[in-house]
Amino acid sequence: MQSPLIKQLIEALRVLPGVGPKSAQRMAYQLLERNRQGGKTLASAITQAIEKVGHCAQCRTLTEEPVCGLCASVKRNAHELCIVESPADVTVMEQSGIFKGKYFVLMGHLSPIDGVGPNELGLNVLEQRLAIEPIEELILATNPTVEGEATAHYIQQMASRFNIKVSRLAQGIPMGGELEYLDSGTLSHAFLARKTL
């Protein structure tokens, strides 16, 4: 029989994505049996992050500052704005080192069934930015799902009212991928987005 505090810890760990009952139980016992100091460090880090991390006033990514470092940087290209679904997408883009513009983070995608409409994604804030900032190109980097495509289409329509060029990240065959392992949707995207050599 588990103590109430151990049960509470296991249930708390289950809020993390991909953590089921067994994984949460293993984590809880690991912290209690072998790494209590690590558990205290983890608890402190979670508490501080929850209390101090908010959203950037311009791009909506997660930051402790009112405006994140990327938005505040004068070295970033203010004429290009990349639209992503999550702060994790910003991190991946920055790790690639390929994009030098600015970002706008939706914090999700359009999903009327789940009650997520344009205002929940901050598209009203994006529209204000498009109206006043010197943005020349929007780069849509939403996920290639039905919801991601619908979100991209909605943003494309919005940008057309401001005569802003809109591009979409290429989708299709990954480097090192083999045709026989691709699903038909990925293959059709790759075929439609083919380039002349």
Q: Which of 10, 65, 54 is nearest to 32 (CA)?
A: 10
Can you tell me the distance from the alpha carbon of 161 to that of 61, in angstroms, rounded to the nearest whole number? 25
Tokens 């505090």 correspond to what residue? 5
Q: Please provide residue 184's backbone torsions phi and psi, each rounded to the nearest 5 degrees.
A: -65, -35
Q: Which of 88, 103, 16, 27 is nearest to 58 (CA)?
A: 103
Going residue by residue through the chain (197 aa), what tens digit of pLDDT does each one get? 779 999 999 999 999 999 999 999 999 999 999 999 999 999 999 999 999 999 999 999 999 999 999 999 999 999 999 999 999 999 999 998 889 999 999 999 999 889 999 999 999 999 999 999 999 999 999 988 889 999 999 999 999 999 999 999 887 777 777 767 777 777 777 777 776 66
CATH 3.40.1360.10 intervals, the chain = 56-168
The DSSP call for residue 112 is G
Across 44-64, b (16+ Cβ under 10 Å) vs e yields: eeeeeeeeeeebbebbbbbbe
The two structure tokens encoding residue 147 = 């919801």
Q: Which of 133, 140, 107, 138 is nearest to 121 (CA)?
A: 107
- Which CATH code is given to the segment(s) 56-168? 3.40.1360.10
In CATH terms, the fold of domain 4-52 is Helicase, Ruva Protein; domain 3 (1.10.8)
CATH 1.10.8.420 intervals, the chain = 4-52
What are the pLDDT digits (tens) for 128-140?
999 999 999 999 9
Looking at beta carbons, which pairs linking 165-169 to residues 24 or more positions away fall under 8 Å? 165/136, 165/137, 165/138, 166/137, 166/138, 166/140, 167/137, 167/138, 167/139, 167/140, 168/139, 168/140, 168/141, 169/139, 169/140, 169/141
Name every residue whose Cβ is closer than 8 Å to that of residue 176 and which is 6 or more positions away in sequence: none
